[in-house]
Amino acid sequence: MDKPESIPEIVEETTPKEDNRELPPFRYILFPRKGGWSTFPYPDIAALLAAEGEVFYVSSQGRSDEMPPAISVVTLTEADVLLQQNRTAAVIAHPYWLTAVHSLHPKISIVLLPEPAGDEADSPLWESCISRLVGAADLIGTSSETRYMKLAFQGVRAVWLGGEDKAPAGSIHKNDLEIPLRDYELLFLHALRQTTAEAPDTITPLQCSMRADYYRQLRSKTGPHETISFLLAAYEYLLDDSRAAASLKEAFTHAIMNGRSDCVHSHYRFLSAIHAKAGEVESALQVYGISAGNEQERHHYEQLCRWLEAGEIELVQAELLRLNDDYGAALGILDALGGETARHWKFRIYRETGCVEDALALVHAADIQDRSSRRDYQELSGTAMALRGERHGAVRQFLEAAMENEEALARIVEMELLDHAVQQLLGEVP
Amino acid sequence: MLDPKKRTQHTRGLGMQPEIRTEVPPASTETSADHPRDSRSNEVKSQRSSPAASSIRRVRKGQGNKLTAMLQVRNERGRYLEEVLDDLSEFVDEIVIVDDASTDGTPDICRSYPKVVRLEILEKPLFAEEWRLRNALWQAAVSTSPDWLLSVDADELYSPEAKEAIRNLINQEHADWIAFRFYDMWGGRTHYRDDELWSLHRGHTASLVRYMPDYPYFYPQQNHHVPRLPLSCSVLPGIRTDLKVQHLGWAGSLEDRVRKYLRYKRIDPNGEWGSLEHYESILDPEPRLVPWKEEH
């Protein structure tokens, strides 16, 4: 059996540019969900932040009794002032803070994604705000393993805030007090320190490795299983482990035996990503072709065949990775490839993954010559302006885009909805 | 070869994503508007990591598909095998047969048909481990590089309409299996049996499947009542037709049916693989029979 990965000892993360020991502690500004402290989704992470530095909680209401004494309540205006200072990070715990927080231009943006409450998940605003939050975040924590895996595929710095092992994996000291930490808390702490020190991410692959170990052990206990084997394959894939293909085929076989009629798309197609990542582009393309379930996909398969025949191996490889949501690996290939086509494809990935500013930075004047492109550009510009807090500019862009397509007006409505949502998050309105 | 100046000028707009809905020109066309390289670029440096690849095999073909019939046979002399092979020779391109250790010279019958391109003769019978037998047939068939495989039993006859339609059914790129209506002909070829336990014709049976070499095909590892096509075909898209197939397994004499009844009872006395009620119904003295009509 493989040796399980272990979490490294807690040491300060430093970069050659910076020596953290000479610097004051970070300030963390918490942007919570509505309902007061009792609804804060990750109180354990807040405690961790309090052990690392000063923590402020943004609310228009006074502090509640249950709030830990180490946390101070500040208004949104006070938070704005704090975020202008160095070594201050925004910690966003609800997606509807999106524009309100980004317009304050935090130097470091940490997102603690909550599980949706009530009918939140039904709103299209929920996922679109999460997408853009993630697109601009420096570190993301989530209690959903599905979400975590999606983030890992996206190539962002993420920590899954969950786990089966409840035993302490380490501890930190604060005011002569030893605070035990669970494994995911320890991982988050390392990720936090790497983020603030601008150090390379070693925690996402470490946690992926720990999850792969967990599912490998589970599989050895339960035997092959469509979900367990699939999750194992996904983590093995993220780790470039050559066992991913065998795990995936096992998952697919069991999905068939369990009568999952959609498993060609849900399971088998992922084999195309595994082959593509391993550089077996033609095999990857054939798997994609088999899984092409509608006219549009079959046409795209034909197109990819012709590109491959024309020798465009890296482009086909990047596209197959993108089709499997591995935006991170696809971007890596396109970055290395360079050139005009890669620029266009990177633009699409940035737009799909909510990286609005990155997408906008790739647009050249020659790209927006026709009306349709100009309208798209105006909408994208408006979205970027809204995030920067340039409201008038954003509204102007959306209105101009609406001259071509009234759907752009929805962006203005979205801005108003988020304004109202922030009032709720601050506790100003029910 | 990829000089962008030779290409048609075009604007894809802001997104400029690969145009999924647009037609793709042939790979050899250098004035492609849909080529992934953007036409407005003046870059001439090669983005390739290797010379142009040769033609990529497509997983589905809309024309020119090779149709191969595959049969497992055992002691078929004096039954329907010759009629079935005559019939198949009319409309398939090739035939692959696995003989399950026949003792009556069945392989000699098979060899006499020119379209039989592969005949594998098992020394020891596998009928008690049906999935192994199915798998042996599948492996033999796919080794001949078919595009489509028609799984036929040695007592099944495709209707004239089915035979006529089969090329159109396989020369398409959206469905990977085709299902037919199978009729259990009873005590002759003028009637088929139709009651609760004998209702195969009311549903569809997939017997024709596209072969895609990269796809994992597998049969459930069971000894009896193994489906004629690999289980993994069931999750691919398919077509259900009303085209008819006559199953002659029960079309013989009462003596034949009694022999088959006794064989089922011997192989599966507790109804582990099939229904005991179904087995008993073989001897029903007054089965409900419906006259056979060729046209549908």
Contact predicate B68/B144, CB 8 Å: yes
Tokens of A378: 């105006």
SS3 annotation, B124-169: CCCCCCHHHHHHHHHHHHHCCCCCEEEECCCCEEECHHHHHHHHHH
Number of residue pairs across A and B with CB atoms under 8 Å? 149
Q: How far is A338 from chain B (nearest CA, A)?
A: 8
B44–A contact, CB cutoff 8 A: no
> For residues B72 and B172, what is the distance between their CA atoms, to the nearest angstrom?
28
Q: Which residues in A134-235 belong to E strands, given as ranges?
A: 139-142, 158-160, 170-174, 177-181
How many CA atoms, within 13 angstroms, populate the side-chain half-sphere of residue B108? Answer: 5
Among A229, A252, A254, A256, most B C-beta atoms within 10 A, so best to mutate, is A256
Minimal Cβ distance to A312: which of B48, B215, B231: B48
Look up the ipTM and state it: 0.83
Contact predicate B225/B134, CB 8 Å: no
Distances (CA, A) of A329 to A9, A155, A426: 29, 7, 39
> Is there a contact between A368 and B14 if contact means CB atoms under 8 Å apart?
yes
B86–A contact, CB cutoff 8 A: no
B17–A contact, CB cutoff 8 A: yes
> Is there a contact between A289 and B60 if contact means CB atoms under 8 Å apart?
yes
> Is there a contact between B18 and A303 if contact means CB atoms under 8 Å apart?
yes
Chain A: residue nearest B37 by CA? A341
Contact predicate A121/A105, CB 8 Å: no
Chain B: residue nearest A295 by CA? B174
Query: Radius of gyration of chain B from Cα atoms?
Result: 25
Which residue has tokens 């569809």? B204
B128–A contact, CB cutoff 8 A: no
How many CA atoms, within 13 angstroms, populate the side-chain half-sphere of residue A152? Answer: 26
Greatest alpha-carbon pair distance for chain B in Å reads: 84
Which residue type, as a one-letter code, is found at position A80? D
Taking phi over 0 as left and psi of -120 to 50 as alpha, with beta for the rest, B143 belongs to alpha
> For residues A194 and A209, what is the distance between their CA atoms, to the nearest angstrom?
18
Minimal Cβ distance to B20: which of A256, A299, A380: A299
Minimal Cβ distance to B43: which of A299, A307, A339: A339
Determine how many CB atoms are found less than 10 A away from the CB of residue B41. Answer: 16
> For residues B86 and B69, what is the distance between their CA atoms, to the nearest angstrom?
12
Contact predicate A125/A414, CB 8 Å: yes
- Domain ranges across chain A: 20-203, 365-426
Q: Which residues in B164-257 belong to E strands, given as ranges?
A: 177-184, 191-193, 205-210, 238-247
Determine how many CB atoms are found less than 10 A away from the CB of residue A222. Answer: 10
Contact predicate A161/A111, CB 8 Å: no
Tokens of A226: 């469509």
**pLDDT recorded at residue A19:** 52
Q: How far is A368 from chain B (nearest CA, A)?
A: 6
Cβ contacts of A263 on chain B, cutoff 8 Å: 235
| CATH number assigned to the domain covering A20-203 | 3.40.50.2000
The yes-or-no verdict on residue B199 having pLDDT over 80 is: yes
**pLDDT recorded at residue A174:** 78
Which structural domains are found in chain B, ordered by start? 67-254+257-270+275-281 (3.90.550.10)
Cβ contacts of A260 on chain B, cutoff 8 Å: 235
Say if strands B67-73 and B94-99 run parallel, antiparallel, or are unpaired. parallel
Chain B: residue nearest A287 by CA? B214
The pLDDT tens digits for B252-267 are 999 999 999 998 889 8
Percent composition of chain B: helix, strand, coil (DSSP 3-state, to 5):
25, 20, 55
Tokens of A3: 């040796």
What does the pLDDT profile of chain A (430 residues) look like in tens digits?
A: 455 566 766 655 554 454 555 678 899 999 999 988 999 999 999 999 999 999 999 999 988 888 999 999 999 999 999 999 999 999 999 999 999 999 999 999 999 999 999 899 999 999 999 999 999 999 999 999 999 999 999 999 999 999 998 888 888 887 778 888 999 999 999 999 999 999 999 999 999 999 999 999 999 999 999 999 999 999 999 999 999 999 999 999 999 999 999 999 999 999 999 999 999 999 999 999 999 999 999 999 999 999 999 999 999 999 999 999 999 999 999 999 999 999 999 999 999 999 999 999 999 989 998 888 999 999 999 999 999 999 999 999 999 999 988 888 999 999 999 999 999 999 988 8
What are the helix (H) ranges across A223-338? Answer: 226-238, 244-257, 263, 270-277, 281-291, 295-309, 313-323, 327-337
- If contacts are CB pairs under 8 Å, which of residues 250-279 in chain B contact chain A? none
Cβ contacts of A265 on chain B, cutoff 8 Å: none
> Is there a contact between B27 and A295 if contact means CB atoms under 8 Å apart?
no
> Is there a contact between B174 and A261 if contact means CB atoms under 8 Å apart?
no
The pLDDT tens digits for B146-190 are 999 999 999 999 999 999 999 999 999 999 999 999 999 999 999
Percent composition of chain A: helix, strand, coil (DSSP 3-state, to 5):
60, 10, 30
SS3 annotation, B83-127: HHHHHHHHHCCEEEEEECCCCCCHHHHHHCCCCEEEEEECCCCCC
Task: Output b/e per residue, A33-45; b: 16+ Cβ within 10 A.
Answer: bbebbeebbbeeb
- If contacts are CB pairs under 8 Å, which of residues 207-236 in chain B contact chain A? 212-216, 218, 220, 231-232, 234-236
> For residues B193 and B191, what is the distance between their CA atoms, to the nearest angstrom?
7
B47–A contact, CB cutoff 8 A: yes
Of A324, A161, A119, the residue nearest A234 (C-alpha):
A324
Triad B82, B83, B85: Cα angle to 5°:
65
Backbone angles phi, psi at A243, to 5 degrees: -75, -5
Among A249, A270, A287, A367, most B C-beta atoms within 10 A, so best to mutate, is A367
How many CA atoms, within 13 angstroms, populate the side-chain half-sphere of residue A253? Answer: 17
**pLDDT recorded at residue B47:** 42
> For residues B93 and B95, what is the distance between their CA atoms, to the nearest angstrom?
7
> Is there a contact between A370 and B11 if contact means CB atoms under 8 Å apart?
yes
> Is there a contact between B56 and A305 if contact means CB atoms under 8 Å apart?
yes
Among B5, B32, B212, B235, most A C-beta atoms within 10 A, so best to mutate, is B235
Distances (CA, A) of A409 to A103, A133, A383, A393, A401: 21, 21, 12, 14, 8
Taking phi over 0 as left and psi of -120 to 50 as alpha, with beta for the rest, A118 belongs to left
Chain B: residue nearest A261 by CA? B235
What's the pTM value of the predicted model, to 2 decimals?
A: 0.86
Among B7, B14, B212, most A C-beta atoms within 10 A, so best to mutate, is B14
